[in-house]
Chain A
Amino acid sequence: MRRRDFLVSASGALGVVPLVSPRWLADWRAPWLLIPMDESQADHLKAYGVVFRLLERGGRAEWFLNYRFGAFLLPSDAVTARDAALAGVTVEPIDDATLLGIRADIQAGNMEAVPLEKAPKVAVYVPPNAAPWDDAVTMALQYAGITYDKIWDPEVLAPGGTGLARYDWLHLHHEDFTGQYSKFFLTYAGAPWLTEMVERNTAMAQAFGFPNVPAEKRAVAQAISAYVRQGGFLFAMCAATETLDLALAGAGVDIAAAYADQTPMDPDATAKMDWSRALAFQDARLELSPTVSQFSDIDGHEVNALSRRQELGSYRIFGFSAKIDPVATMLVQNHRETIPDFYGLTTSFRKSRIKPGVTILADEPGAPWAKYLHGEHGQGTWTFYGGHDPEDPQHQIGDAPTDLSLHPHSPGYRLILNNVLFPAAKKKELKT
């Protein structure tokens, strides 16, 4: 369909009398819309939503890596211009000549234009009753207006991986894949939410014929690993990063405390771990005490081990060559180079525990830990981001949810949304 025809049909599809608004109508009349991602952008987070919805409507876009901190180029149409105006996203109407100049700049510098051609089908792994406000990714998706499905163990454990195969992108947040309820069992004993979590997980393990929750969660971790191996994109934050790898490496080893599986943890569990099965980490030492809400020494900050807890600093995003390494470049697009750190059950990743071959996307200068990792597994890729909520550095259970309309420029949240759009990039561009 030619662009003009499309515009006419799009106007018709709106089914409304055109509204009188010189500003966004003027935007629409230009052939292209540039979404700048530098300081001029009024809402960095919602910009990703505008692009995503365009892709959902069957449109195409381009991601100008490193050009104005990761700007987007969209063909102009009434629906997109209206969508951007409603979202409060800054757009700059540009003509073909201006675009030609931009392309010349991109060609000449450490920049790249990556076509975005398909809205990824997004799944978030959460229990069915979870509110969207306790997970940074669902908050970011909700705020940006990006649609996603909630899935949990029944979908992940569907025979032959059919449940996950429908999705391009899977997100895990603070799930504990060691099946120990984030080791909150002692600290929050009697809390209604914990009781409900235990009941729900136990029922699920029984329904699938597993002897206990740790065994069932390990099977879930293995299904997720298989999903990535077969070409899926995995993004994990907080405790899901560490516990996913512990569950994978701990196959056949009792790494769960007695309250989770009625048998004490194997005292030699650390020595028995098979790290070749893990995605990101190796040689970690497991936390043996059931009373410390920590899993291993992968996390550098150890937020719940008060005597060893490390203060928060700032982390620095690395720069990559856009033309040689567009994948890493996409994941680090940001208008800030240094970002204040934030705690999570797993806040950071000790470099001494990271496998060789894993790409470190961000770390804290001078500290022995990294914040943001990326790697490949089979035909797919995974990205791990430490911490719970980029705009709530000291997050505690029961805290008020973060209102992202108060943080529309959040650089920490931008990193999450880079990951959401990353699978939309044209496949051949990813093979570098």
Chain B
Amino acid sequence: MRTILCSLLVLCGAVGRLAGQSDAMARAYELERRGNFQAAAERYFEVLRGYPDNLSALLGLERALVPLRREAELAVPAEALLARDPGSIAAYSVAMRGWAAANRMDSVAAVAKRWATADPQNELPYREWGSMLMGQRDPNGARRAFLLGREQLGDPAALSGELALLSASQGDWEGAAQEWALAIGRYPGYRLSARNALVQAPRGEQTKVLWQLSRSTPAGRRLAGELSALWGDPVGGYALLVGDLPASDEEAVDALRQFLDAARAVPGPEAARVRGQALEQVADRTPGSGASRLRLEAARAYADGGDAVSARRMLGALAADGSAPPDMAAGATATLVSVLLREGRVEEAERQLGILGRTLGAENADRLTLQVAEAWIRQGRLDRAEAVVAADSSVEAMALSGMIRLYRGDLAGASTALRNAGPFAGTREAATARTATLTLIQPIATDSLPALGAALLLLARGDSAAGVTALVGVANTLPPSGGGAELRLLAGRIEALQGHPEPAERLFRAASDSTAPATAPAAELELARLLLSLGRNVEAVEHLEHVVLTYPGSASVPQARRLLDTARGRIPES
């Protein structure tokens, strides 16, 4: 009976202590939640004084001490907990942080070693130890800690990610590449981290990085391929990749997709062609409709890269493939027509559009029809262009008809059609171009001026030299305020765009005629812009000031003022 009574008393005492501990923790949590870290820390300390092995209290204490910048006080309670429970991983980590905050790196090392003894197969003690040394700006100490870990664990790839980052931070990119190759061999999930880290290697180190990776594992060589692409050699990168593609389709597709992910960020036609090749390879290894989609994507990439033959190879079959999903066939048709137009094969593009156009939605069909008409214009075949849009009543088609009339010299008809098309047809750029065209022809008094149409058609066909000569010829027949100044301004802009500053300057000066006040400020602004680009800032500033002071109501004034600020170095150049 006495024994039972004693046992009950002991049990009641234990339950009471547990309840007290739980209450104190609840109070500490509440204080922490309210942001009263000072009081919360005191409560956690109180709990730990009574129950040194309460890990929750230790972790709460750390949360409270960090905002108070008193992390150094963590070391003692963490050590007390470890004395009772040497297997507590979290307590080792807290103890190390506490000693590090107290700048006692010898104690950090001692805790790390005790932890490693308690858990000999774990990388974590060495990882934490090394990271803390890095935080103390002791990279050599950190390296020693990581290498000691590697030696103790008996694993040549252990802590390779940490050593890679450390090497890179010390400018040893070759060493970093070597370590990353080990890391991705052991943990494939590190590949993205490795790529993101190594891509920052300075230009002078990149060859060494690639060499290190290419003499490592297949995964390392594939990483070299991605880096090579990101560093501007997509062709070489792709060669490295395909030389080491895994045998299994699944792994090969994964590797190709990783390469594509890298190559997508690389601009230029070469990269686009390589993307096309990689996508084709993925498509060949993909079953079902997914393959069609990939081939379409490959075709677009080939087309962007200027490889029309490969693009058509992808698209020809795809467009005619009755089993392909409808949206895929439509996409293939649209891309095929665009590729043919880019190659200048307008006749065939029009034929393909006629045959396959039914697979397209109305909007896509209309857009491609207009592209075909524009391509005929570029070839000087106004009759064919007119025939293509004849049945189209859209405002975009009306705008194009206006341009065709203009190229024929029918200024009145062009003006009516362009005005009827309004400001909303087509893209914003197309609308702006239409407005500019109207501005160009409106001051001209005559309804018909075939010479102007011919000059503008030359420009539309890409013959800028002949176009400018013809334009100036027409301008010479017109008074400045009757279109002459506007035509010279246009001619000057084309010369400037073509990189011919001398004729551009002459034309802008001629267009800055005060008898054409609607054109003069814009022409003088262009002149100033040209002079600035030639480094003739003093002259440019004179003209800009003249625009601001002489034409205060002109729409060119805000631009002139901004350019004036730029010329004087008052705002950063954008």
Using a CB–CB cutoff of 8 Å, the interface residues on chain A facing chain B are 19-21, 23-24, 82, 85-88, 132-133, 142-145, 185-186, 189-190, 258-259, 264, 287-291, 307-308, 400-405
Contact = CB atoms under 8 A, between A and B. Distances in A.
Given A19-B546, A19-B549, 8 more contacts: A21-B549, A21-B550, A86-B549, A86-B564, A145-B570, A307-B67, A308-B67, A401-B572
Contact of A403 (B69, B103, B572): B572
A388 B356 CA distance: 60
Contacts of A132: 569
Contacts of A88: 548, 558, 561
A160 B546 CA distance: 48
B400 to A, nearest CB: 37
Contact of A307 (B66, B564, B569, B574): B66
A142 B552 contact: no
A257 to B, nearest CB: 9
Contacts of A402: 572
Main secondary structure of the interface of A (DSSP, over half): loop
Interface in B62-97: 66-67, 69
Given A142-B571, A190-B171, A85 B548 contact: yes
A326 to B, nearest CB: 30
Contacts of B515: none
25 contacts: A20-B550, A21-B550, A85-B548, A85-B549, A85-B552, A86-B545, A86-B549, A86-B561, A86-B564, A88-B558, A88-B561, A133-B572, A142-B570, A143-B570, A185-B137, A186-B137, A190-B171, A258-B137, A264-B103, A288-B69, A401-B572, A403-B574, A405-B562, A405-B570, A405-B571
B572 A86 contact: no
A82 B548 CA distance: 10
Given A142-B570, A403-B572, A405-B562, A21 B103 contact: no
Which of B135, B169, B550, B571 gathers most chain A CB within 10 Å?
Answer: B571
Interface string B556-574: 0010011011001111101
B565 A24 contact: no
Nearest to B569: A142
A401 B571 CA distance: 9
Contacts of B101: 289
Contacts of B546: 19
A264 B104 CA distance: 12
A258 B550 CA distance: 63
Contact of A259 (B66, B137, B568, B569): B137
Which of B67, B558, B562, B565 gathers most chain A CB within 10 Å?
Answer: B565
B478 to A, nearest CB: 25
A24 B549 contact: yes
Contacts of A185: 137
Contacts of A143: 565, 570-571
Given A86-B545, A190-B171, A404 B571 contact: yes
A313 to B, nearest CB: 18
Contacts of B552: 21, 23-24, 85
A6 B334 CA distance: 73
Contacts of A142: 569-571
Nearest to A288: B69
Interface string B164-178: 000001010000000
Contacts of A401: 572
A321 B420 CA distance: 63
B279 to A, nearest CB: 34
Given A401-B572, A404-B571, A82 B549 contact: yes
Contacts of B574: 403
A46 B265 CA distance: 42
A405 B565 contact: yes
A287 B69 contact: yes
Interface in B125-153: 135, 137
Contacts of A288: 69
A145 B568 CA distance: 9
Nearest to A287: B69
A143 B571 CA distance: 6
A340 B552 CA distance: 34
A405 to B, nearest CB: 5
Interface string B531-562: 00000000000000110111010000010011
Contacts of A19: 546, 549-550
Contacts of A289: 69, 101
B160 to A, nearest CB: 21
A402 B565 CA distance: 14
Contacts of A405: 562, 565, 570-571
A53 to B, nearest CB: 12
Contacts of B549: 19, 21, 24, 82, 85-86
A258 B67 CA distance: 23
A22 to B, nearest CB: 8
A145 B571 CA distance: 10
Nearest to A267: B103
Contacts of B561: 86-88
A403 B564 contact: no
Nearest to B66: A307
Which of A86, A259, A291 gathers most chain B CB within 10 Å?
Answer: A86
